[in-house]
Structures are given as C-alpha cells and as structure tokens.
Amino acid sequence: MFWSLDVSMTFVPLEYVLASAFVGALMALYGARRSRNTDERGPINGIQPVPKIKGKWPGNIDILLELIYSESSDYPTEGIARWCKEYGPTFDMNILWSHQIVSADPTVGRAVLHDLDNFEKSEKWNRMCHTFLGDGIFAVDGPLWERHRATARPFFSRSRLADVQLLERHVDALLEGLQRRAAQSAALDMQVLVKIYIFRGTGAATESLTGRQRSRL
C-alpha cells in the first residue's frame, strides 16, 4: 500500500520579504536613535539615567518572549522581581528600543500620584483602551479626567473606606473554607480561593459605593 500526500505550499514573493525586512530595519534604527537622543538629553536636564535591561537579542526581544512565556507558564511578576534585584527597583525594559519604565519604588509611586499633570496615561494608552473603557476615568486625560475624578471623589471619602466590616465578612468566609478543607485533610488550590476572594472583595467595594449587596457576579 502506498500513501500519497499532496502538499500545496504558498511562497511569499521575495519583494514582500525584502520590504518587511526594510521596514523592520527602519523601525529599529528609528527606535535606537530616539532612545539615544533621550539618553543624551537626560544629563543636560539633570535627570539621572534609568538602568536598562541588557538582553541577549537585539531590541531585547528575548525579554519580550520571556514575558509572554511567563504569562502562560509561570507567575507573571517573577521576571519583574528578578530584574528588580539585578537592576534596582526602577529600570527600563527597553523592548524594541522603546522606553518601558518599571518601578517598585514607593517614592516613585508617590511622586507620580502627586504630579498627574506630568504623568498622563498617554494618547497611546487611551487609544488602546477606548473601545473597552470608552471615555471613562481610566482612558482619558486632561479636563475630562478631572471631571470624572471630582465626581468619584465623594465615594472614596475616609468614612466610606473605613467600613471594614464589609471586607471582614468575606475574609471570614475565606477562612471558614480553609478550615473545612483542613479538617478533611484535603488538598486545595489556593489560587482559586484567592480569585474567589478578589471577586467577592470587588462586590464589597461595589456595595460600599452603591449601598447594594451583590452576592454573585
């Protein structure tokens, strides 16, 4: 008995391959030049340079692949924690020669939150999130963001946030579940329980804001 296999292959024209390589090279050169210009302007303005991750591949593509891989097979923040130990609490991932500043420094976080006029979310972020978030507070900047913030501010007053009984109820439910499983000497998936607690905690926050209880999604 003979088996025949008919394989039809579609070859990409050479000009498409060359054009793609040319465009990729231009993008790489543009990104590298922009990054170099930013680094050169920093000392002039009294700005301390941010340590950059040094990957093995051009454009730190290996760092990008590592992030993608960790999303599906590992804890997403393990790579970030490792780079924090190697480069310090604030570093530049520098993927494809573009600045992606990551910081675990509380001082940096406070500085950003106290100077939001100079740390906007950027047009790129707003454009990506507009389809999902519309013109909400998480996808706009400027006067529209200020109006959203003024509207939401009363709901986050100290008196509302001080009501810990709402969260305590969900913590008690989580602890009861752990005790039941421990009494049965059964294994449990802590990640599942934490996810359930987060969803219930979100419901508690909604109840605090609206005054209505949401026991399930």
pLDDT tens-place string over residues 84-102? 999 999 999 988 888 889 9
Q: Which domain does 99 fall in, by range?
A: 16-119
Of 94, 24, 100, nearest in space to 59 by CA: 94
If asked whether residues 109 and 21 sit together in one domain, one would say yes
Mean pLDDT by 10 residues, the chain (217 residues): 43 66 69 65 70 90 89 79 94 88 93 87 86 87 89 75 69 82 81 76 64 56
Tell me if residue 49 falls in helix, strand or coil.
coil
Distance CA 170, CA 5 (A): 60
Residue 3 lies in a domain: no
Residue 181 lies in a domain: yes
Residue 38 lies in a domain: yes
Residue 6 lies in a domain: no
Cα angle, residue 96 at apex, residues 91 and 97 outer, rounded to 5°:
60
Residue 131 lies in a domain: no
Q: Which pLDDT score is estimated for 68?
A: 86
Tens of pLDDT, residues 128-157: 888 888 888 888 888 998 998 888 888 777
If asked whether residues 84 and 179 sit together in one domain, one would say no
Residue 94 lies in a domain: yes
Residue 4 lies in a domain: no
If asked whether residues 37 and 86 sit together in one domain, one would say yes
pTM to 2 decimals?
A: 0.60
Domain count, the chain: 2
Residue 2 lies in a domain: no
Largest CA distance in the chain: 82
If asked whether residues 113 and 175 sit together in one domain, one would say no
